[in-house]
Structure 1
């Protein structure tokens, strides 16, 4: 109950407290035909006790009301603080998932063909986790009218969209990546092909079909290796862009999260305990 309501209630109770004895007297007068029931000293004594009781009860009510309001305000403040801590934790978890560096781990195992599939599975798992979180958070944020929430959700959406694009591109590049050939094997194959081509210039040259199959296989593997180098260049270019995407998208989402937290802190600080 605020001060304005207390004043209005006090005036109302005062008027009612005065009217009630008059009404009682009127009722009693009506039954006996007198104008005043009882003597003046009786009325003075009655009014003193009556008004004292009324105002004592009213003061007790005001104190109780203020105590209840005070307790409600404290509980509300505690709840707001708990909500703020939950918000901080939730936003921290969300922003921490926006990790572009996870997409670039393939660059660390690019010479180990046996790890390609496991890297693809990791990227798929990362995308799945992002999708689940994104859909869940969308239920809370997309219809909010608060500007800090809208700003955060807009930035978060852009960041996740870019993550999805980078995951898709990296997954495709890894899936197309041929097995690794070390330099000694490349040189051996090139020398075998060169010797075969030199020998084939002799009119009497008639290679065995197994030799032809071997040379064809070498040529295919060397062609795949050349294509592999192009794909590695594309992977390295994407890895370089991941840092830029982090600076542009993840950092912006983090900034928007901090703005949202500050707006909620301001609401908590605005709660006055009276």
Structure 2
């Protein structure tokens, strides 16, 4: 399917829905100009773009699946972090927020940082201060956009399963006192009825290579992160690979009281470091 045919198909679906371009663009968290370029074949939409437009139009899951099965080879892509930074990283947070809004079951594996949905404001600010650090106004706007996403944790009808490697909890992304507060937040959020947090212990047998972090949106979409880019795919075989990988790590993760004990032990280490430092 060419760029023009993807755009033409999306435009046909929008017109059939009776919705204006501005309405669909607003629902899909994109500008009307971007939607126009997609519909007219002047730019190739990403997997995220296609998913958001189809959701905004309100097509059935069957229609969405059929359309994306045809478009899949054209809409599996990588977006370089430098491009997202240039476009405005807070806009990317809004795009992820829109994708999460259409996700019923979110599974997320992290071997690098505390997941964004679980971050405190101070931790998030420290993350966006890491090289290449965002300028202060941009950082503040991006942190605010990330924190807005966290409201989804309290919405009915959704479930969240986070897997975090133990070393992530120990990395000193910010001051020990701030790290202690961040770990307290993990323990608190783990008590939410629809949130499950597992810690992958360092002393367990490694079930697979934790090559990158990724999020699974239902069984339909994977967003994976590397050092230079974010990859998005809907290919069933690729999605299946990530589901199997997630399951392997979840089988050795610590949950419930064991999870809380592990996190609190690391938190106490940070508190002692603060007192002696």
Same fold by TM (over 0.5)?
no
TM-score by length of 2: 0.21
More helix by share: 1
More strand by share: 2
